[in-house]
Homo-oligomer: A and B are copies of this chain.
Amino acid sequence: MNFNKVLDNVTIYEAGKPIELVVREYGIDPKNIIKLASNENPYGTSPKVTSKIKEIAGNMFVYPDDSMYELKEALANKFEVDESNIIVGSGSDQILEFCVHAKCDSNSKILMSKTTFAMYEIYGKQTGSKIIKTKDDEHNLEQFSNLYKEHGADIIFLCLPNNPLGECLDKDDVYAFLETIDKDTLVVVDGAYQEYASFKDEKKKINAKELISTFPNCIYLGTFSKAYALGGMRVGYGIANEDIIKTLYKLRAPFNITTLTLAAAIEALKDEEFVTSCIAKNFEEMKRYEDYAQKKGFDYIDSYTNFITLKFGDLFSSKEVAQNLLEQGVIVRDLTGYGVNAIRITIGSNEQNTKVFKVLDEVLEKLK
Contact = CB atoms under 8 A, between A and B. Distances in A.
Interface string A97-118: 1000111110000000000000
Contact of A63 (B59, B232, B257): B232
A184 to B, nearest CB: 6
Contacts of A1: 183-184, 186, 216-217, 243-244
A297 interface: no
A261 B234 CA distance: 11
Given A53-B53, A101-B4, A232 B258 contact: yes
12 contacts: A1-B183, A1-B186, A15-B63, A15-B255, A20-B70, A53-B60, A60-B230, A60-B231, A231-B255, A232-B259, A234-B257, A258-B260
Give the copy number.
Answer: 2
A20 B69 contact: yes
Interface stretch (A86-94, A133-141, A162-170): A86-94
A58 interface: yes
A24 interface: yes
Contacts of A50: 57-58, 60
Interface of A: 1-4, 7, 10-13, 15-16, 18-21, 24, 35, 38, 40-45, 49-50, 53-54, 57-67, 69-70, 90-91, 93-94, 97, 101-105, 119, 126, 183-184, 186, 216-217, 225, 229-234, 243-244, 247, 249-261, 264
B40 A58 contact: no
A204 B65 CA distance: 33
A102 B57 CA distance: 35
A93 B256 CA distance: 10
B21 A67 contact: yes
Given A50-B57, A60-B232, A60-B233, 13 more contacts: A1-B217, A12-B249, A15-B255, A18-B62, A18-B66, A19-B65, A20-B65, A20-B69, A44-B58, A93-B255, A231-B255, A234-B255, A258-B260
A234 to B, nearest CB: 5
A93 B249 CA distance: 16
A256 B91 CA distance: 9
A74 B97 CA distance: 30
A70 B18 CA distance: 13
Which of A3, A10, A61, A231 has most chain B Cβ within 10 Å? A61
A258 B89 CA distance: 12
A307 B16 CA distance: 42
